Chains A and B, each alone.
Chain A
Amino acid sequence: MAVAAAIARTRNLFAAVALGGIYSFCMALALLVLDAPDVSMTEAAVGAGVSTVLLLGALYLTRIEETPNHRIALTPLLVSVVAGATLLYGAWALPPFGDPAGPIHQHVAPRYLNDVVKETGVPNVVTAVLASYRGFDTFGETVVVLTGGLGVLLLLRGRRRPLSKGTAPIGKDAT
């Protein structure tokens, strides 16, 4: 929470990117505490590693300091407050965390947990659910990754304007 507040406060984009990496590591730790090592690994590698590097690469193409903007944007504030209030209101109706009688633990989860080794021979339930029971969803996810990658590549490659000379982009020969 403190890190998130610091990200919102700071005007230095470099500091914001670094804080974002710290925030991702905190989230990875939280996910690990919640017994989700798969998601935690992804968060640590993507959130803290790759996306930080990509943001730094983007920073290199812009300026480090954010231009100060003292106008108070009312509509976004209203939208975020209303959305947050709706989510809080909805969270009230959820069953308590870890409640074994919750609907999520009654529908298909028992079958996944009980029959997973018998049906798939894969002891890691997460892998079995992702690749086998939910194979269609994962296929869709892979296609989404493909589409996202293609979109970014097209946007970044589409028009290549030479920037001012003398600035080496991040990762370019550091010798």
Chain B
Amino acid sequence: MHRESIPRVVTKLLFPFLLLFALYVQFHGELGAGGGFQAGVIVAATLILFGLIFGLRAAHLVAPPWIIETMIPLGVLIYGGVGVAGLLAGGNFLDYFVLDHDPVHGQERGIFWVEAGVLITVSSTMVAIYYAFAGRGR
């Protein structure tokens, strides 16, 4: 029996719902409050909570540092890739209208991928900074 059983149990219970809420904020951001930045921050806060309660080693198992560190530039690349995709499709940089036959659908698609890039970069940067702080002085 662990000494801090209540935080552990509550964290275990909340963990999937927090991630689900982050996804809701991410994909529902077009209709309600939220978007990539907010969802990324919620994902990061969830992982940091997990690390606080269960220890850094368990957090490293859930989200290995090398994946986190790859995700930081990956998000920016996705965002930039959307821009380049607009260029290749014959528009300007970050021009979403040309991404689909229907300009409005193109907008939606562009915004979706851009927000995905923001989510990946923001969440992984926060978690990476937390790892760096928590891993110091070992």
**How many angstroms between the C-alpha atoms of A58 and B39 in the bound complex?**
25
B19-54 vs A: 1/0 string, CB under 8 Å? 000000100011111111110011011001001111
Which of B45, B73, B137 has a CB less than 8 Å from the CB of A167? B137
A139 touches B83 (CB 8 A): yes
CB contacts (< 8 Å) of B134 on chain A: these are 57, 169-172
CA distance A37 to B25 in the complex (A): 12
Task: List residues of chain B with CB within 8 A of the CB of A42.
Answer: 37-38, 41
Contacts of B85 in A (CB 8 A): none
Q: How far is the CA of A101 from the CA of B45 in the complex (A)?
A: 40
For A45, give its contact among B32, B45, B52 (CB under 8 Å).
B45
B94 within 8 A of A: yes
Whether B118 and A122, one on each chain, are in contact in the complex, defined by CB atoms closer than 8 angstroms, is no
Which B residues are CB-close (under 8 A) to A132?
96, 107, 110-111
- Whether A46 and B110, one on each chain, are in contact in the complex, defined by CB atoms closer than 8 angstroms, is no
| A54–B52 alpha-carbon span in the complex (Å) | 11
Proximity string of chain B (122-133) to chain A, C-beta cutoff 8 Å, 1 when within and 0 when not: 101110111011
Decide if A19 is an interface residue (CB 8 Å cutoff): no
B114 interface contact, C-beta 8 A: yes
Shortest beta-carbon distance, A171 to chain B, in Å? Answer: 4
Q: Is the interface of A mostly helix, strand, loop or mixed?
A: helix
**A57 close to B110 (CB less than 8 A):** no
Interface residue count on the B side (C-beta < 8 Å): 63
Kindly provide the distance from the CB of B39 to the nearest chain A CB, expressed in whole angstroms: 9
Interface residues of A in 117-175 (CB under 8 A from B): 118-124, 126-128, 130-132, 135-136, 138-139, 142-143, 145-146, 148-150, 152-153, 156-157, 160, 162-163, 167, 169-175
A49 within 8 Å of B (CB atoms): yes
A53 at the B interface (CB under 8 A):
yes
Q: Which of A119, A142, A167 contacts B117 (CB 8 A)?
A: A142
* B76: A residues at CB distance < 8 A: 142-143, 146
Choose from A37, A156, A163 the contact partner of B33 (Cβ within 8 Å): A37
CB < 8 Å neighbour of B115 from A49, A60, A131, A170: A131
Whether, in the assembled complex, B57 has its beta carbon less than 8 Å from a beta carbon of chain A, the answer is yes
B72 at the interface (CB under 8 A from A): yes
Q: What is A's interface to B at a CB cutoff of 8 Å?
A: 37-38, 41-42, 45-46, 49-50, 53-54, 57-58, 60-61, 118-124, 126-128, 130-132, 135-136, 138-139, 142-143, 145-146, 148-150, 152-153, 156-157, 160, 162-163, 167, 169-175
Chain A to chain B: the 9 pairs with minimum beta-carbon distance, closest first: A149-B125, A37-B33, A173-B55, A163-B137, A57-B133, A156-B132, A121-B104, A120-B107, A45-B41
